[in-house]
Amino acid sequence: VFLVEAEAEEFIFFVNSKENCAAICFSEEQGSITAPTLSLGAKDNNKNQAQNLFSLLRECDSLGVQTVFVHAPKKDGVGLAVYNRLIRAAGFKVIKL
């Protein structure tokens, strides 16, 4: 798992250039990514992201891919708690685009 800090367009381009991967992204980005995707929720709905987080991480195990790229949420309010959990799931591996 890698946490990716990027704008939407950068994240989409980055993931689409990779093979044998999946993405946890915001619902607004799902249709633009060619890899298997799981929706974290709407970009501006940190509470929904927090509710979805643990089930998404468990679901990643069943995808059968080598790598999962997660689009980093905003680091404010509840988003900071979501970011904190994601960075730990990623083993502190962060890609900044």
Provide the H-helix boundaries in the chain: 8-16, 46-60, 78-89
Per-position DSSP letters for 63-87, written without gaps between them:
S--SEEEEEPPPSSTHHHHHHHHHH
Per-residue buried b or exposed e for 42-60, using 16+ beta carbons within 10 Å of the residue's own CB: ebebbebbbebbeebbeeb
pLDDT of residue 83: 92
pLDDT tens for each residue of the chain, 97 residues long: 999 999 999 999 999 999 999 999 999 999 999 999 999 989 988 888 888 888 888 888 888 888 999 999 988 888 898 899 889 989 999 999 9
pLDDT of residue 65: 86
Cα separation, 74 vs 56, whole angstroms: 18
Its pTM surpasses 0.95: no
pLDDT of residue 16: 96
CB atoms within 10 A of CB 65: 16
pLDDT of residue 15: 96
Closest CA to 6 of 20, 30, 27, 26: 26
